[in-house]
Structure 1
Amino acid sequence: MSSSTASVNGPRRQISERGKEIIYQLLAARRRIQQLTTYINNLRMIYNMSDEHKTAMYQAEQERHNVIDQEQRMEVILVNQFDLSDAIIRDNIALQSLVPEYFSY
């Protein structure tokens, strides 16, 4: 093995600071998408939705759409500029193993 550290999922490659920042932002975007999806689903359960609820749901849907666009752009950057595979990019645990300094448990 090279100088890279081994992770649970096999050898871990060295990622530049810029790559690490993009991975961290990607994981944060995925958490935000999950939060917004839950919020939107909760709003949809309201029987008689007020105008305020409708506005909140519309704004949350717009934000969710924007964050999904950002997520997709970051995935493309990680594939094209940092040579990460689709399998790694789709696996949040594998991504976290590439940037352990961001996730101290």
Structure 2
Amino acid sequence: MDDLLSASLPLGTELLPIGSVLLVKQIKQPVMVYGRKQKQNNSETIWDYVACPYPHGHISSEYNIFFNHDQIHQLMFKGLETTEELEYRNRLSKI
């Protein structure tokens, strides 16, 4: 895990693809993005991302981590970017 914590990629301003692994400010464990533009329970707030602890994966909804792009501290791994991903991310950016 120490090797992973030392990895760092440029973040940029665009939404990250599913599968991206990163550190969120004030959370010590890496998380993996598995959803974008998500609501938390009955809240009206739309968060940029929902993630789960890495490497554990989705344990239960109690472990979901909701956050916005500006709360990312460090990008460790960027998820797969296909043509479909880029088109979908373009649509998401309009939300």
What TM-score does the superposition give when structure 2 sets the normalisation length?
0.28
Quick check: which has more Rg, 1 or 2?
Answer: 1
What TM-score does the superposition give when structure 1 sets the normalisation length?
0.26
User: Which structure carries more strand by proportion?
Assistant: 2
